[in-house]
């Protein structure tokens, strides 16, 4: 039996080895506050069905006209079924292809969507405009709660963490995404 078959067999036997989508964070960075940010927040609310949270600038950048503490972006964190549904739409928008370089060593990955109207079922509204977005996906296994809980906090063991190869295999099988490079 090859090593890959042994690993796959172990995953089927042990439910603690199954990988799942922990969260999907959708970020729209506008670069300025005011009416444009409000429109971006409305677009994000329409796409995800959740209320976006504004994000502030960390420092002043005079060339771009950004002041420290000014709201310049908005994000939404999706979990559970909403996260998986949004991820299916996002993968369809990018053509079910991802480069290998978007995955990190812990199995998380991020990609961008140039225009929100590329998402299926989204129509262009001239009063709102067109916005791009970043999608960040976190994958984990059952048992990651031990590093976030309040009492008896502990580390997740190295052998239990999601690796880059496992994340690529999970995304390929679950969503049909082709990872290139």
With cut-offs at 50, 70 and 90, classify the pLDDT of residue 89: very high
Instruction: Quote the tokens at residue 77.
Output: 């964190």
pLDDT in tens, 128-152: 999 999 999 999 999 999 999 999 9
Residues above pLDDT 70, as percent of the chain:
95
CB distance 76 to 134 below 8 Å: no
What the chain holds in terms of domains, given with CATH numbers, is: 15-180 (3.30.1440.10)
As a whole number of angstroms, the distance between CA 107 and CA 166 comes to 7
CB distance 26 to 135 below 8 Å: yes
- Nearest Cα residue to 16 out of 145, 108, 172: 145
CB distance 116 to 133 below 8 Å: yes
pLDDT in tens, 23-81: 999 999 998 888 999 999 999 999 999 999 999 999 998 888 888 989 999 999 999 99
């Amino acid at each position: 039996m090859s090593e890959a078959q042994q690993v796959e067999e172990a995953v089927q036997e042990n439910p603690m080895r199954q990988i799942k989508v922990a969260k999907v964070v959708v970020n729209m960075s506008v670069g300025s506050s005011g009416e444009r940010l409000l429109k971006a927040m409305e677009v994000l609310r329409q796409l995800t069905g959740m209320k976006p949270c504004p994000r502030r600038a960390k420092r002043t950048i005079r060339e771009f006209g950004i002041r420290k503490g000014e709201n310049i972006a908005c994000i939404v964190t999706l979990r559970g079924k909403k996260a998986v549904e949004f991820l299916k739409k996002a993968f369809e928008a990018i053509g079910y292809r991802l480069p290998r370089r978007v995955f990190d060593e812990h199995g998380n990955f991020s990609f961008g969507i140039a225009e929100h109207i590329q998402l299926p079922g989204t129509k262009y509204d001239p009063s709102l405009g067109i916005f791009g977005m970043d999608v960040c996906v976190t994958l984990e296994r059952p048992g990651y709660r031990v590093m976030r809980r309040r009492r008896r906090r502990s580390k997740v063991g190295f052998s239990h963490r999601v690796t880059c190869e496992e994340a690529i295999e999970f995304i390929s099988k679950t969503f049909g995404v082709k990872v290139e490079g």
